[in-house]
Structure 1
Amino acid sequence: MRSLLTMILLTLFWNCLGQNQSQQLIEQTAQKVGIQNSDIFSRLATSQKFDNGILIVIPEITEEGEGYIILNSNIIFTDNKTGAVKAKYSGQKDWSIDAVSIDKIEIEPKLYQLNELTTAFALKIFYSNQSRPNPYSSTQLSLYALEGNELNRVLKDFPMKSFNGETDTTCKGEFEEHSKNMQVLNTFSNNYADLKFIDKIELSERNEDCEKVKADTRKEFEILKYENGEYKNKA
């Protein structure tokens, strides 16, 4: 019993230490790029370590009012050892929180190789509302290509997952759900790999006990090609 309690306390200690170190890293990086700590929307700020550096996401409050917040995006790549800024992307009013909230921002730990010289970081934004009659959630993907000392956004807010429905405010209702997987292809457009998305779509009905009583599924495919600095659907 004593060893179990010790293990729990150690786990809590290391979790708190990790959170404090992450917050310190975010604040130090914000200062380097001219962002005041008071303007950081800390709940969504995050970081991810890679072999060649650390990617840090700092949402910066640019406007707020009753029931809404608008955020600038700051995607910053720093040196593992020195903390020096190696590359940066800043977007004006990229994200907003209102009736649809941002639950979290997640950096994928995987890098995507777009050509021999270019790798991309993947950022996922998780959205949802609190509506019982019309529930909604969405996960959107953005890709940031590391090109020399620049980070360039090559894919913006591409929907990877979505869920929406119409209900009687409990569980009974009709729902539509999309879930996509991305593949980097060996075909190229303008020297960048094409991206293939496989979308699993489910249309369903649920009863009062939240059980599916009817469901139809199908798959669709979509290929995005690189043109003029970003990925587009050329279909």
Structure 2
Amino acid sequence: MKRFSNVRTLFFTPIVLIGLGGPAALAGQSECAGRAADIIRRAYPSATNADDGTLLFEGASITLPKGDSVDGDPHAVICRVWPAQPQLTLIAVPSMTEQSDSENEGDIELLVVDSTNLQVRQRLRLDGLMSDDAFRVRSVAFDTARYQLAPKRTAFGLRISREGSSRANPFGETTLWLFAIEGDGLKPVLDNIVVSESHGEWDTVCAGEFSETTRTLSMVPSAKAAVADIVVTEKTTTSVNRVGTDNNCNSEDKTTIDKRRLRYDGSAYGVPKDLKRVN
């Protein structure tokens, strides 16, 4: 009888979100405190009620969270009080124009609202960020680790995780964007960097090859500019699984660590192509 005691299960568990800070920076996505409907009504006064419980606005549907619980619906509105500026609350509003088992189409609008009176201070629409097909959007989360750009300027992050459905060719990734307040608007300062990715190809029993990469962001003083640099520490583990002579599934792992420095060019941080989400 074959014994596969060392089969890797890494690619069938949720992706761990890696970046500056710890889990607390990614927690609290249900902080609408029962006020999601009020927030959306203020931000979209012409929205109407749909039969399925969603709101309709300019041909797109908006799904309110169920109570204050995170129910795993990536298309629902999320809220997060911003720890760096608790007088402000961050809102992500998925605006879906199509939803089906085969593909979804939609945008995300980011809102920054007054935590007390819910007045919208800033807003920014991100076109196509909720669109998917083979690789489905599985989660949307704010990242409120302290991305300190300058002494009086802090950014916040938005992370989107996607997964493939193939067991033989597992795939998952988490992508990060950073935004900063500028006057009455929101400005993207870091665009589309993949902070976690995993993929592989195997026979669904043992034999196969896998790769997992995590990227951690650290803010460091810049020698050339008033805005901090970002050091990206990249850790990649590649694994090859084979059936050994003892009929166990044996894994050979190789880990590499690399560092890159992203510099602010006066408008945003430049992200190399190979660190960005492809599609």
Q: Does 1:165 align with 2:200?
A: yes
Q: For residues 134 and 114 of structure 1, what CA distance do their matches in structure 2 show?
A: 39
Q: Which residue of 1 aligns with 2:267?
A: 229
Instruction: Give unpaired runs (5+ residues) of structure 1.
Output: 1-17
Instruction: Call closer, same or farther: CA 1:23–1:65 in 2, change over 3 Å.
Output: farther
- Residue 142 of structure 1 pairs with residue 164 of structure 2: no
> Equivalent residue for 1:62?
97
Alignment of 1:85-124 (within 5 A): 85-124=120-159
- Distance in 2 of aligned mates of 1:74 and 1:192: 26
Deviation at 1:93, TM superposition (A): 1.6
- 1:31 partner SS: helix
Rounded Cα–Cα distance in structure 1 between residues aligned with 2:224 and 2:272: 11
* Structure 1 residues 134-182: Cα deviation after superposition (integer angstroms, max 9, x where no partner): 1000011110112232211111221001000011134431001101110
Structure 2: state its 5+ residue gaps: 1-27, 48-54, 65-72, 274-279
Identical-pair percentage: 23
* Cα 1:70–1:88 shift into 2, 3 Å: same
**Bigger shift: residues 183-192 or 199-208:** 183-192
Distance in 2, Cα, partners of 1:30 & 1:89: 14
Once structures 1 and 2 are overlaid, which stretch shifts more, 136-145 or 22-31?
A: 22-31
The TM-score normalised by the length of structure 2 is: 0.70
- Using CA pairs under 8 Å that are at least 6 residues apart, name the structure with larger relative contact order, 1 or 2: 2
Q: Which amino acid aligns with 1:96?
A: S
Contact 1:54 1:79 in 2 (8 A): yes
Whole-angstrom CA distance in 1 between matches of 2:29 and 2:262: 37
Q: 1:166 to 1:201 in 2, by over 3 A?
A: same
- TM-score, normalised relative to structure 1: 0.82
How many residue pairs match? The answer is 218
* 2:29–2:79 Cα contact (<8 Å) kept: no
Structure with the higher fraction of residues in helix conformation: 1
**Alignment CA distance shift 1:21-1:205 (3 Å):** closer
CA deviation vs aligned residue, 1:92-141 (integer Å, no higher than 9, x gap):
22231211111111112323110133211111111101101110000111
Q: Which deviates more from structure 2 when the two are superposed, residues 31-40 or residues 191-200?
A: 31-40
Q: Tell me if 1:216 matches 2:238.
A: no
